[in-house]
Amino acid sequence: MNRWSDEDFRPVYSSETGRLCPQCGEPVKQCRCRTVTTAPSDGIVRVSFETKGRKGKGVTVIRGIPLVGAELKEYVKSLKKVCGSGGAIKTDAVEVQGDHCAQVMVQLQQQGWKVKVIGR
């Protein structure tokens, strides 16, 4: 019984183009299968404060921002600058370190988005 198939052995790096996408085999910069898609949104940006799973450290979690890719990165960078703290973009949310719900809400409302606080 052969437990290895041809799909288990495909190139992941090329000295000419660099890293290759594991799904389509194209260079990562030209990959078509990893297009960024957003979850269907109801038009409401939700802000919450969470500590669960973070060893007691709190983060402000923002879900539903209607931006993708480079636009989202730039907006989150400016948001973190306003709050004066770090953060990260996760797959379904943006996390800003610390309790900055009020500051984040003001910034989101200035963009013209409908904002709701969750869990307060």
In this prediction, residue 49 carries a pLDDT of 94
Contact 17, 27 (CB under 8 A): yes
| Nearest of 82, 86, 98, 83 to residue 50 by alpha carbon | 98
Q: What is the mean pLDDT of residues 25-54?
A: 75
In this prediction, residue 47 carries a pLDDT of 95
User: Which of 25-34, 48-57, 63-72, 104-113 is least confident?
Assistant: 25-34
Question: What CA dihedral angle connects 16, 17, 18 and 20, to 10 degrees?
Answer: -130
CA–CA separation, 50 vs 35, rounded Å?
A: 29
